[in-house]
A and B are shown apart, each in its own frame.
Chain A
């Protein structure tokens, strides 16, 4: 009798563990506290740990065509910063259908398209916590967008294109308040590009309003129980 009960409890526990693992993103997407190299970064991460988890979870469920890589989210220092400026940084891989039309565009145009489509919506998801926005230790925001350059040749490795967008805090705040429009947001950002591993240097992008993120739905996608998306 005792064994039967034990077996039943263990089976239920196994099921719960399987469901819990399946329904939440991996926490290794967030840079661990022990991985920071400065107290400023570590303190921000410790203070806003719940915010980082919320961002990770919301992208996982609500923008499932994006993938946050390991350590893709945290309070990083931009490499071009002279001081220990700490930016809330998010890196995503954008999964989309390979398109010859898209691949034929110049890199600036592809980068501008991705900037227009994703930087604003991701910035809004990253800035839901008012206390974080008002924290003097936070210096800005980084959005890193990465996508497949073109469908790889048979047996070849895929090449990603990447842009890193750095926004200082005043610019981000003005954008969130509607005082800066997308074209000006691109002008006021520092944007760097890479073709695979090769740096392309600083890019000058055009940007425009794009409502893809607010209108696109993965066909037949069913949100996990208890999850809501805004």
Chain B
């Protein structure tokens, strides 16, 4: 009984942790078309919406899309060149 409860709890925790992640299909599609989602509304929209579901984009979807670092680490000016702490 006790071990069953912990098993349920563990599975529940994993499900919660995975709730914000993209599915395998999403990543497979992204890998085939890396620039397709690289910017703008279309990327945000594509990541979220599926046939037959209502069309919504949340802030989490956008954050998730960015976190994947679509274009890689950019070449840009370091903040220390502009400002001092």
Q: Do A and B come from one complex?
A: yes
Binding site for B on A (CB under 8 A): 3-4, 7, 10-11, 14-15, 18, 22-23, 31, 35-37, 41, 60-61, 64-65, 67, 69, 71-72, 74, 76-79, 89, 91, 95-98, 142, 144, 146, 148, 151-152, 157-160, 162, 164, 192, 194, 196-197, 199, 218-224
Would you call B25 an interface residue if the criterion is a C-beta within 8 Å of the partner chain's C-beta atoms? no
Contact of A218 among B5, B35, B41, B76 (CB under 8 A): B41
Residues in A with CB closer than 8 Å to B19 are 18
Alpha-carbon gap, A36 to B75, bound state (A) = 26
Residues in B with CB closer than 8 Å to A199 are 77, 81
Closest-by-CB residue of A relative to B85 is A37
**CB–CB B45/A220 < 8 A:** yes
- Given A77-B84, A148-B39, A194-B76: A23 and B8 interface contact (C-beta under 8 Å): no
**CB–CB B41/A219 < 8 A:** yes
Alpha-carbon gap, A14 to B12, bound state (A) = 9
Alpha-carbon gap, A96 to B57, bound state (A) = 16
Contact of B84 among A7, A79, A192 (CB under 8 A): A79
Binding site for A on B (CB under 8 A): 1-2, 5-6, 8-9, 12-13, 16-17, 19-20, 35, 38-42, 44-45, 48-49, 55-60, 62-63, 66, 71-79, 81-85
**CB–CB B57/A146 < 8 A:** no
A interface secondary structure, majority: mixed
**CB–CB B16/A151 < 8 A:** no
**CB–CB B75/A157 < 8 A:** yes
**CB–CB B75/A158 < 8 A:** yes
**CB–CB B75/A160 < 8 A:** yes
CB distance from A35 to the nearest CB of B (A): 6
**CB–CB A146/B45 < 8 A:** no
**CB–CB A220/B49 < 8 A:** yes
**CB–CB B59/A31 < 8 A:** no
Residues in A with CB closer than 8 Å to B55 are 220
* Most A C-beta atoms less than 10 A away, residue of B17, B81, B82: B82
CB distance from A77 to the nearest CB of B (A): 4
Alpha-carbon gap, A15 to B20, bound state (A) = 12
- Given A18-B19, A79-B83, A96-B39: A7 and B45 interface contact (C-beta under 8 Å): no
Contact of B77 among A22, A74, A76, A197 (CB under 8 A): A197
**CB–CB B35/A220 < 8 A:** no
**CB–CB A79/B74 < 8 A:** no
Contact of B9 among A11, A79, A222 (CB under 8 A): A11
Alpha-carbon gap, A25 to B24, bound state (A) = 26
Closest-by-CB residue of A relative to B35 is A151
**CB–CB B76/A219 < 8 A:** no
Residues in A with CB closer than 8 Å to B2 are 3
**CB–CB B78/A7 < 8 A:** no
Contact of B75 among A98, A197, A219 (CB under 8 A): A197
CB distance from A148 to the nearest CB of B (A): 7
